[in-house]
Structure 1
Amino acid sequence: MHFRFCGGLEPPDWILAEIGLINRLSIEQVTSVTTAISANIAHSDHVAQTEEVTAVYSEQDQARALVKVLQFLIGQAAKYDVNARELVVELLQLGVAKETSDAIAQVYERERLQVRQQLQRQSFKFPHVTKLKFAIPPKREDGSEHVELVLQLNTSLQECATSTATASKLPSDSLSISMTHDKFLALYEELSQAQAILQAMPR
């Protein structure tokens, strides 16, 4: 099943696994927590978010998971300019209760413009690679060689699933890439040329 708030893709498995955390909340709690998280996205109001979330889930792991889920839902919906009615329909498809879906959508619609504006400002900021690891695993059965790259980023990755074979885990700050030996050499050569061009440009 594909969702507009995921850009026509499937939602990640970890979202589905944490929907129960949202359904346990009262409508008042959902409204206050969603409002605080939306304010944090739009205005970086970390204090209000922390206070509201810890008021409903004192256990750190549950509080962190709730923040991740609602941040993802609100942020992705704003990113793809989903309206409140569409968001309600898709939240119901995810398994969120009707009244809870309505409450989230009402807060989202109220904060939608400011969240979108903040996301647009952030869209020009790219994650920085803080660490790079690479390995050449043993040859595969067909005799081909592959190179595996692992990039450690300074921000977490929160994207929708591109297929049903998605690992069920929270967003990671690591990005793993696997490619053939020839493709790796071609990529390395192209990146080296791009770096040389950028370094030669006047500043």
Structure 2
Amino acid sequence: MKFRFCGDGDCPDWVLAEIISTLSMLSAQNLETLAGLVAKRIVGAQFEENAIKAITADLSNDGKSAVACIHFLLINASRHAVSESVFSEEIQQLGLPKEHAASMCRVLAANVTQIRQRLQDKAFRINELSSVRFIPPSPEQPDNTVGCVKFELKIAQELVDGLPEDTTHVLNIERANVEALLDELKEVRSTLQQYSWRQKDNTDV
């Protein structure tokens, strides 16, 4: 079966399973509250982990899969611009009770504009790189990789188990590759600066 909120495609099996086994088990009021918290997180608000744990305390898992499912539903319904009536009908077809579907629709209606704007703002940002830091070797943590340079990368909004999290990664890069990468980045910066100047000149004309 095809669903408009999935871009006229199939709904993933894990979403279907989560709707039946988890979202339907919550009260309609708790689902609406939980969906509201997820919507706020999507648009950049602080992730209220304690509040989510309180709502999902009676679930067999820690609530992460429920949050991931709601995240999927709200993001896709907003991205594909489905109406509330279509969204309600389709998630009921997937097994969500009518009252629960109405709760999801209220949250979607209240947040769809902000979610769409967020999607547009981050259209070309997948696992957005927020910072890069060189890690010098130290007596406590010597560099055991000969000929490599160690960096710490911080990633904003990386999806981990279906949930967006700010993560940190450490990687080793060969020195020769670092030098080549630096040269390429300088070329990119120069190209972007020239493009910006041309755009400014065209605007001033």
Range into which the TM-score falls when normalised by the shorter chain:
0.5 to 0.7
Decide whether aligned partners of structure 1 residues 171 and 64 sit closer, same or farther in structure 2, where only a CA change above 3 A counts.
closer
Question: Which position in structure 2 is the counterpart of 1:54?
Answer: 53
Higher relative contact order (CA 8 A, sep 6+): 1
Alpha-carbon deviation of 1:45? 2.3
Quick check: 2:53–2:62 contact (8 Å CA) kept in 1? no
Alignment CA distance shift 1:53-1:128 (3 Å): closer
CA 1:200–1:52 in structure 2 vs 1: closer, same or farther (change >3 Å)?
A: closer
- Distance in 2 (CA, whole Å) between partners of 1:86 and 1:198 is 46
Within the alignment, does 1:81 sit opposite 2:81 as a pair?
yes
The equivalent residue for 1:156 is 159
Rounded to whole Å, the distance in 1 between the matches of 2:7 and 2:162 is 17
Go from structure 1 to structure 2 and tell me whether the alpha carbon gap of 1:31 and 1:12 turns closer, same or farther (over 3 Å shift). same
Deviation at 1:199, TM superposition (A): 8.0
**Misfit runs of 4+, over 2 Å:** 58-62, 126-129, 154-157, 197-203
1:26-45 to structure 2, matched below 5 A, reads 26-45=27-46
- In the superposition, the TM-score normalised over structure 2's length comes to 0.61
Higher strand share goes to which structure?
2
Per-residue deviation, residues 118-161 of structure 1 (Å, max 9, x unmatched): 111111213479xxxxxxxxxxxxxxxxxxxxxxxx7339xxxx
Provide the C-alpha distance between the structure 2 equivalents of 1:200 and 1:10, rounded to a whole number of angstroms: 43
**How many angstroms apart in 2 are the aligned matches of 1:98 and 1:52?**
25
Q: Which amino acid aligns with 1:39?
A: K
SS of equivalent to 2:69: helix
1:119 alignment partner in structure 2: 119
- Code of the aligned partner of 1:45: Q
> How many residues align structurally?
143
CA contact (8 A) 1:27 1:99 kept: yes
Using the alignment, how far apart are the partners of 1:100 and 1:87 within structure 2?
12
Q: Deviations over 1:155-194 (max 9, x none)?
A: 339xxxxxxxxxxxx659xxxxxxxxxxxxxxxxxxxxxx
Question: Larger C-alpha radius of gyration, 1 or 2?
Answer: 2
- The CA distance in 1 between the partners of 2:7 and 2:186, in whole Å, is 36
3-state SS of 1:156 partner: strand
CA RMSD of aligned residues (A): 2.8
Q: For 1:119-198, what aligned pairs fall within 5 Å after superposition? A: 119-127=119-127, 155-156=158-159
| Cα distance in 2 between the residues matched to 1:70 and 1:6 | 13
In the aligned structure 1, how far is the partner of 2:55 from the partner of 2:162?
Answer: 22
**Mind listing any 5+ residue stretches in structure 2 that lack a counterpart?**
130-154, 164-183, 192-205
Which residue is equivalent to 1:109? 109
Deviations 1:31-67 (A, max 9, x none): 11111111111133212xx233211223683410111
The structural deviation recorded for 1:200 is 6.0
